[in-house]
Amino acid sequence: MSDITKKSTSRREFLKNTGRIAATSAFMAAAVPRMYAAESNTIKVALVGCGGRGTGAADNALSVKNGPMKLVAMGDVFENRLKSSYSNLKRRHADKVDVTEDHRFVGFDAYKKAMDCLGPGDVAIFATPPAFRWVHFTYAVKKRLNVFMEKPVTVDGPTSRRMFKLGKEATAKNLKVGVGLMSRHSRALQELQKRIQDGEIGDIILQRGYRMHGPAAFFRSLPKPPGISDLLYQIQRFHSFIWASGGNFSDFNIHIIDHLCWMKNAWPIKAQAVGGRHYRKSPEGITYVDQNFDTYSVEYTYADGSKFFMDGRCISGCTNIYSSYAHGTKGIAIVSKNGDCGRPSSTYRGQKMDKSNMIWQSNIRPEERNPYQNEWNDLMEAIRSDKPYNETENGVNTSLVTSLGRMAAHTGQETTYDQILNSDHEMAPGLDKFTMDSPAPLQPDADGRYPVPQPGIVKDREY
């Protein structure tokens, strides 16, 4: 494992440390409307998607201190993931995990069965591959459930339009919705964003984001082994397949893209990009079959003409860089020193990041240093206090802007925000009707290989 991977502030790292770090914030619970806590004041939680992300989100949910919560249902398409998640959560939160055998559901309809164990005002966690987000969110809004959904929340234009609409329906029903873009709950980045908006470094004219390290997670995949369907293989290794996750560009780079757009307080209107596939064979000489590029470099343009460059690379043996910066007319800011939102953030006069030029550096109280826990504390405080809280629109915009950069690289065309939003290419239509016997949205050729982007050849869609 590379040094940068060891140091990155990922959910995996926070999970390792949760036993040692007290990472919760105390919130005074206001009078609680009956809809949100029922007569017992206990909020029930259902987990849909029981992999590492889902388990981490449930752990954070059950660690909130501003009122009683209980995990009562779980669902996944993989029984082994559900069992592992249940064991880990039960060990950590024995008195808060009450998921009986008949409330552990496996299959493509597990999300419905898990949410049927809740009542209005309870909380559903969605941590499946993002392609399924609109399906699960539709059912949650129908049942008047509050939601926490992991990022990304969309991978293409049609599902983005669908999610924008669902977000408005959730607001109309006074539902609270959190999205797992934890940078916005980093107390350091919250202070930095305020300082930038107040003009501390002048007008932002350039931003730089980097996530460059060795292969990680399900970045690449070998041909499908026997004993598993194409559909389940693609869901299991979702980072390898654009329809399921947006590929590694969307999943890996979205946090930096999100927090730099937040610092600018704007969304890019267009992008041009390059990328390529370089090392596509395993040490045994077997060709990887995933759809990802090994390198991406995206130039985003804002409406005022300023630029944002996002570089991503998954190649071993290269220089590791995992950080982000904002350049203003009067100075520069280190947004994330290391990782998705790694402390400390800081600002400087001029463009040299010398200590003598430093204006400010973040200093966060220990109990508020975990942004993954902060986002749950903030969501639950809004639920119990019945405050307006809906991060859907921001989550969709961030996902869409990330997909915009990815599409520009995969097609080799300058692409606009409006073009991808209004695109008719839904990569996996009919996900709400999937069963274990459904064909996969992506079909392999005779050699077990899947379609890959061909910039300059396929220009109007990604594959």
Q: What is the pLDDT of residue 362?
A: 98
Q: Is the pTM for the entire model greater than 0.85?
A: yes
* Residues 282 and 303 both lie in one domain: yes
Helix, strand, coil fractions of the chain, as percent rounded to 5: 40, 20, 45
Q: What is the pLDDT of residue 40?
A: 64
Find residue 281's DSSP bridge partners. 287
* Residues 146 and 233 both lie in one domain: no
* Residues 263 and 380 both lie in one domain: no
Site of tokens 């709950």: 185
Alpha-carbon distance of 79 to 102, in angstroms, equals: 13
* Residues 381 and 276 both lie in one domain: no
CATH number, domain with residue 209: 3.30.360.10
Site of tokens 């077997």: 286
Alpha-carbon distance of 179 to 376, in angstroms, equals: 10
Question: Would 459 be classed as within a structural domain?
Answer: no
Name the nearest CA neighbour of 260 among 319, 167, 326, 317: 326
* Residues 281 and 167 both lie in one domain: no
Question: Would 413 be classed as within a structural domain?
Answer: yes
For residue 455, whether the previous peptide bond is cis, meaning omega lies within 30 degrees of 0, is: no
Alpha-carbon distance of 246 to 236, in angstroms, equals: 14
* Residues 341 and 202 both lie in one domain: yes
Question: Would 446 be classed as within a structural domain?
Answer: no
Question: Would 448 be classed as within a structural domain?
Answer: no
CATH number, domain with residue 143: 3.40.50.720
Site of tokens 């959560």: 89
Q: What is the pLDDT of residue 447?
A: 85
* Domain assignment of residue 217, given as a range: 186-365+399-433
Q: What is the pLDDT of residue 448?
A: 86
The burial class, CB within 10 Å (0-12 / 13-18 / 19+), for 91 is exposed
* Residues 98 and 226 both lie in one domain: no
Sorted by sequence, the CB contacts under 8 Å of residue 244 that are 6+ apart come out as: 129, 130, 131, 155, 234, 235, 238, 428
Distances (CA, A) of 231 to 124, 228, 237, 243, 310: 24, 8, 10, 11, 31
Q: What is the pLDDT of residue 28?
A: 33
| 390, 424, 457 - which closes a domain | 390
How many domains does the chain divide into? 2
Please tell me whether residue 202 adopts helix, strand or coil conformation: coil
* Residues 196 and 332 both lie in one domain: yes
Q: What is the pLDDT of residue 60?
A: 98
CB 439 within 8 A of CB 278: no
Tally of CA atoms within 13 A in the half-sphere of 274 that contains its CB: 0
Alpha-carbon distance of 193 to 142, in angstroms, equals: 35
* Residues 39 and 97 both lie in one domain: yes
* Residues 238 and 347 both lie in one domain: yes
**Which tokens go with 156?**
């293409």
Mean pLDDT of each 10-residue bin along the chain, 463 residues long: 40 42 35 44 97 97 97 98 98 98 98 98 98 98 98 98 98 98 98 98 98 95 95 97 97 98 98 95 92 98 98 97 98 97 97 97 96 98 98 98 98 98 96 96 91 96 94
* Residues 97 and 233 both lie in one domain: no
* Residues 34 and 76 both lie in one domain: yes
